[in-house]
Amino acid sequence: MTGKPAQSAQAAQVAPVAQAAPAAQTAQVTQSAGQTKTSEPRSAALRSPHSQSPRAHAHVHVRVPYVVRRLAAFIVAALVQSAVIFAFLRMLPGDAAMVLGGTTATPEQTARLRAQMGLDRPYPVQYLSWLSDVLHGNLGVSQLSGKAVGAQVGVRMEVTLPLAVLGLAVALAIGIPLGVLAVTARSAKLRRALQICAIVAGSIPALWGGLLLVLIFGKGVGLLGVLPSQGFPSGGWRAPGRALASLALPALSIGIITGAQLLRYVRSALVDVCDTDYIAQAMVAGMTRAQAVRRVGLRLAAPQIVSVAGLAFASMMTGVVVVENLFALPGFATLLMNDLKGRDFLAVQSELLLLSLLFLVMGLVVDMLHHALDPRLKDAAGFGADADGGAAAVASAAVVSSAATGEGDEA
């Protein structure tokens, strides 16, 4: 035969997608001065006879697993933060023994209290003793209430952690869909309106936003009066309906503001993805631009979105102080502020350490998720993935799975 048969239009559309990933691994043929030169791929060039056997050479570099390195960094950071917390609290004015003894305590009574509390010992001895107690699960006893700090923190976290989780859920429900809409909407006016709303809502202080929600939805004082605006059920989560209702307005207060900020991050991440060839590749496979952004763009932007969501959750844990005071919630932030006002530094140092450990755990979880979602990081971590082809693999997988879904729907 003298000619090749013509390919169909459908095969011409699917071929660039199906061959995108294999093309990166095949040899490249270049024409120069009438001669044909074949350049081996980088992965093939690295597979030399000497590199196939790591035991044959003593200079082979052994990479420490990524998880081990991150856990080691976590332990070092926790020790450094504990030392910083201990040192800075000792620099604050005030004496816990004098506060506990009151204004009528004699110097002898104050000295006796300092000895009982261990404050008369050298600072290094106090730090090592406190760190040893923390490692054994003993966070100390509050000098104001006489209760164990661990028990108090556990009760207060039953309010603060669900509040932060609900606030994050509201933020994700607002930020991700509206962020995608801000990129895929055909109306330029709608896209501009979403950007303006995100800037305005993200600039609202939590106190002002909470007061506005109380005036609209709060029972007894609001226009609609459908949600409680003060306190938390004495039975706690034994009455889950009442507990959720009492956290609804506080969660909306922090969730709407954080969701507006997340909207801007999602939009920015998707705009950067839209400038790449992966969206064009998905559109060649038969998707519309909106479908390509939702199915392929979100997968490529997932590591950035996860990082921002993790930082938002960590910021909520410290930003709920105003919200808890406004809605009279007995949370962890309220406990910490009361202990600071009472100069109960022995309890404050354990509470601050737990808060810092929570931030470190969130950072560790975000790093692990980021590493799992972004194949380009696996090469640096020692898992042998191709950093240049990682994003292409994600995009190709998204296109192939979406195309298969579309074919199944047509069938």
Q: Which CATH architecture has domain 152-207+252-410?
A: Orthogonal Bundle (1.10)
**CA nearest to 317, candidates 352, 365, 345, 341:** 352
Write the pLDDT tens digit of every residue in 385-408: 444 444 554 455 454 445 444 444
Residue ranges covered by each domain of the chain:
86-138, 152-207+252-410
Determine the average pLDDT of the residues in 351-361.
90
What is the pLDDT, as a whole number, of residue 64?
Answer: 62
pTM over 0.75: no
Give the mean pLDDT of 87-94: 82
Q: What residue type is 44 in one-letter code?
A: A
Token output for 227: 């949600």
Mean pLDDT for the stretch of residues 189-195: 93
Per-residue pLDDT, 248: 93
What letter would DSSP give residue 204? S
Q: What is the DSSP letter of 226?
A: -
Average pLDDT of the chain, as a whole number: 77
The pLDDT tens digits for 98-142 are: 777 777 778 888 888 888 878 888 889 989 999 999 999 888 888
Element (H, E) at 32: strand 28-32
Q: Which helix or strand (DSSP H or E) is residue 29 part of?
A: strand 28-32
Q: In the prediction, which pLDDT does 213 show?
A: 92
For residue range 45-70, list pLDDT tens digits in order.
334 444 444 444 444 444 567 788 88
DSSP 280-337: HHHHHTT--HHHHIIIIIHHHHHHHHHHHHHHHHHHHHHHHHHHHHHTT---HHHHHH
Question: Average pLDDT of 65-89?
Answer: 90
Average pLDDT score over residue span 178-203: 92
